[in-house]
Amino acid sequence: MGIKKTLGLGIASAALGLSLIGGGTFAYFSDTAQSTATFAAGTLDLNTSPSEIVNLSNLKPGDIAVRNFTLQNSGTLDIKELKLASAYTVTDAGLNNAGQDLGDHFKVKLLKDTYVSGDITNFVIGEISLKDLKNTANYDLISTGALPGGIAAGQSKVFKVAFVFVDNGQDQNVFQGDKLDLTWTFNAKQGLGELK
Ligand SMILES: [Ca+2]
């Protein structure tokens, strides 16, 4: 007989700056925050480590940038549920976006963990615009196949995504010099309680 318990919630955040061509802004990418929860019965401790500084400046329509997020389960409990909350703000350099959302022009493509480099075409397992992702309260990374099976205690997995600045074949000049600051928060939960 199983006993359902909620022992902990692990949260890790990553921030990412997408700076568009013409901006001349120094964009960087770093791990910004993490929180841990400790309980007598065990711990759930999720960290994200985009360890290098990643420059995503000078993007133009059609550009693709692949980024890896290493998610480390440093706790003693397996992570069986992992969801992504996404938020962003747009800096409209020319104050000319006229209600257009730059997040609508960026797609996030989830990649198979077997992807290494080069053409992403055969490795895409799902895609969603940054705007739709923001409006999805908790995007499930396990059922989408991005991190199948979750992350066992003490293990890490690499979450691979491609950010695509979609070239829609139309005039996108209003976005020249604009900037999009993206914050991703990974929310982890353990599996159901077990009979011990
Ligand atoms: Ca603009």
Question: How many Å from the N-terminal Cα to the C-terminal Cα in the chain?
Answer: 10
Residues 173-191 pLDDT 10s = 888 888 887 778 888 887 7
Residues 107-158 pLDDT 10s = 999 999 899 999 999 999 999 999 999 999 889 999 888 888 988 888 888 8
Q: 3-state DSSP call for residue 130?
A: helix
DSSP E strand boundaries for the chain: 9-19, 29-35, 37-39, 42-44, 46-48, 64-73, 79-91, 106-111, 124-129, 139-140, 156-165, 179-190
* Residue ranges near ligand 1 (ion) with Cβ within 5 Å: 92, 94, 96-97, 174, 178
Among 21, 46, 26, which residue's Cα sits nearest to residue 36? 46
In angstroms, what is the span from residue 95 Cα to ligand 1's centroid?
5
Lowest mean pLDDT among 20-34, 44-58, 109-123, 146-160: 20-34
In angstroms, what is the span from residue 53 Cα to ligand 1's centroid?
26
For residue 58, the 8-state DSSP code is: S
Q: Which amino acid is at 140?
A: D
Specify the length of the chain in residues.
Answer: 196
In angstroms, what is the span from residue 91 Cα to ligand 1's centroid?
8
In angstroms, what is the span from residue 96 Cα to ligand 1's centroid?
5
| C-alpha distances out from residue 23 to 113, 132, 145, 171, Å | 33, 25, 35, 18
In angstroms, what is the span from residue 170 Cα to ligand 1's centroid?
15
* pLDDT at residue 39, as a whole number: 32
In angstroms, what is the span from residue 43 Cα to ligand 1's centroid?
45
In angstroms, what is the span from residue 146 Cα to ligand 1's centroid?
33
In angstroms, what is the span from residue 79 Cα to ligand 1's centroid?
41
